[in-house]
């Protein structure tokens, strides 16, 4: 396995991390050499004690360590390749041990005048035999460190890939859910228009115009899984225009929106399925007028969303709220986007009312161009929250 650019960067980083370790080992080795000489009855200077350690450890730190790290990445130890990799490392160890002695002998001759009269072969044999044991265990330690770091890096890479695949899968699932939701919404809107086409042509034409605006808005955010609450409310207002034209004086909508929540990120098509469900299973089944209340508040790092609607005057225990495609779809999307950090509850309230209560984490979106004017226009259309700042 030939190291790629990332692997070479890891080799470079690990080598730089090991350089301070070699410095510490050199200092400790020099101190031990000096103390052993004193115990043996010989008095030597610190420079004399440090010189052999400097030669040995500098060769390993600056030349041999990068070579061992490269070999460890080039030929990593794996159980299934052990029979092939082991001879390579044994041969490399022999070559590096010989190489260390070959490099050290001329440097040692320069440092010690007494060694200049001794032949190269004699010095090589003495240096090789004296350092071979240290070379072996140093090679093994560096190889072990490189192998551990390599396996850890592979584990991290696999973990990152797994998270990326999981994210891609989640996005794909959300895209499928959105593709299910948009035709479902469109068919319901067209059904509302067709119901008025032969009764009130002018109203049907207005509904078609509103539907065109709504479709343009939905297409503009077709690739988004989350939008700002302000954008979601704009989309909902267009949908409500269609439904208010259909139900005339039978439908009333009141919004209580916390201004601090308008920049919050919310799932795309969050409110429309809730309102559609309220109209289908509540308002449309009543003989008289009905009200839908939409309440959105920020509570610390939490966004509370409540959609409450009137239902037919039945006993509260008999109220049956159905999970249609829109509501069921929304539950899946909330789980995909927020995991356990969300909740969706359907409650029966006194006075023949049903409430859908949603809680999601508050995440502020970056304001877009002209967002201030749009936010101001939206607040003109909704009733301010009772506890919102003025």
How many Å separate Cα 332 from the centre of its chain? 20
- Nearest Cα residue to 15 out of 59, 56, 75, 62: 62
Query: Could you give phi then psi for residue 17, rounded to 5 degrees?
Result: -70, -30
Residues of the chain with pLDDT under 70: 1-7, 111, 113-116, 164-186, 188-189, 218-224, 314-326, 366-390
∠133-136-138 over CA atoms, to 5°? 105
How many CA atoms within 13 Å lie on the side-chain side of 298?
Answer: 17
Strand 383-384 to 343-349 pairing = unpaired
Encode pLDDT of 202-257 as tens digits: 887 888 888 788 777 766 665 667 889 998 898 888 888 888 877 778 889 999 99
Backbone angles phi and psi of 173, in degrees to 5: -65, -40
Collapsing DSSP states into helix, strand and coil, what is residue 383? strand
Widest CA span in the chain = 118
What is the rounded CA–CA span in Å between residue 26 and residue 29?
A: 5
SS3 39: helix
Domains and CATH numbers, the chain: 5-164 (no CATH), 200-384 (3.30.565.10)
Q: What is the pLDDT of residue 326?
A: 62
Q: Based on the number of CB atoms within 10 Å of its own CB, is 7 exposed (0-12), middle (13-18) or buried (19 or more)?
A: middle
pLDDT of residue 371: 42
Say how far apart CA 179 and CA 25 lie, in whole Å. 64
Bridge partners (DSSP) of residue 354 are: 309, 348
Question: How far apart, in whole angstroms, are the C-alpha atoms of residue 362 and residue 265?
Answer: 7
* Token couple for 209: 């115009």
Distance of alpha carbon 132 from alpha carbon 69, whole angstroms: 19
* Cα 234 from Cα 257, distance rounded (Å): 13
Contact 278, 307 (CB under 8 A): yes
DSSP at 225: S
Locate 59 and state its tokens: 């060769």
Which pTM was predicted?
0.51
């Amino acid at each position: 396995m030939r190291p790629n650019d990332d692997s070479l960067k890891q080799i470079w980083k690990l080598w730089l991390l090991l350089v301070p370790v070699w410095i510490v080992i050199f200092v400790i080795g020099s101190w031990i050499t000096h103390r052993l000489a004193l115990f043996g009855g010989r008095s030597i200077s610190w420079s004399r004690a440090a010189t052999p350690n400097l030669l040995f450890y500098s060769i390993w730190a600056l030349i041999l360590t990068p070579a061992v790290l490269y070999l460890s990445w080039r030929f990593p130890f794996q159980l299934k390749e052990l029979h092939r990799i082991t001879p390579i490392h044994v041969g490399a160890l022999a070559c590096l041990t010989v190489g260390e002695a070959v490099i050290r002998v001329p440097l040692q001759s320069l440092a010690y005048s007494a060694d200049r009269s001794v032949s190269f072969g004699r010095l090589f044999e003495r240096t090789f035999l004296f350092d071979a044991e240290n070379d072996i265990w140093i090679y093994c330690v560096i190889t072990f460190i490189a192998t551990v770091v390599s396996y850890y890096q592979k584990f991290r890479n696999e973990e990152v890939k797994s998270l990326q695949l999981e994210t891609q899968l989640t996005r794909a699932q959300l895209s499928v859910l959105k593709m299910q939701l948009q035709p479902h919404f469109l068919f319901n809107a067209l059904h509302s228009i067709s119901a008025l086409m032969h009764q009130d042509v002018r109203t049907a034409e207005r509904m078609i115009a509103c539907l065109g605006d709504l479709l343009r808005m939905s297409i503009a955010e077709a690739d988004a899984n989350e939008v700002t609450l302000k954008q979601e409310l704009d989309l909902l207002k267009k949908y409500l225009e269609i439904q208010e034209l259909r139900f005339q004086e039978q439908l009333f909508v009141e919004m209580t929106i916390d201004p601090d929540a308008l920049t919050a990120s919310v799932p795309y098509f969050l409110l429309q399925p809730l309102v559609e469900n309220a109209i289908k299973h509540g308002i449309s089944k009543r003989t008289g007028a009905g009200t839908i209340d939409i309440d959105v508040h920020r509570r610390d790092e939490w966004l509370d969303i409540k959609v409450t609607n009137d239902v037919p005057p039945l006993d509260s225990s008999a109220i049956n709220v159905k999970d249609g495609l829109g509501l069921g779809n929304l539950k899946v999307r909330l789980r995909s986007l927020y995991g356990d950090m969300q909740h969706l509850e359907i409650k029966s309230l006194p006075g023949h009312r049903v409430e859908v209560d949603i809680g999601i984490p508050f995440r502020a979106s970056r304001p877009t161009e002209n967002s201030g004017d749009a936010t101001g226009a939206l607040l003109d259309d909704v009733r301010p929250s009772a506890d919102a700042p003025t």
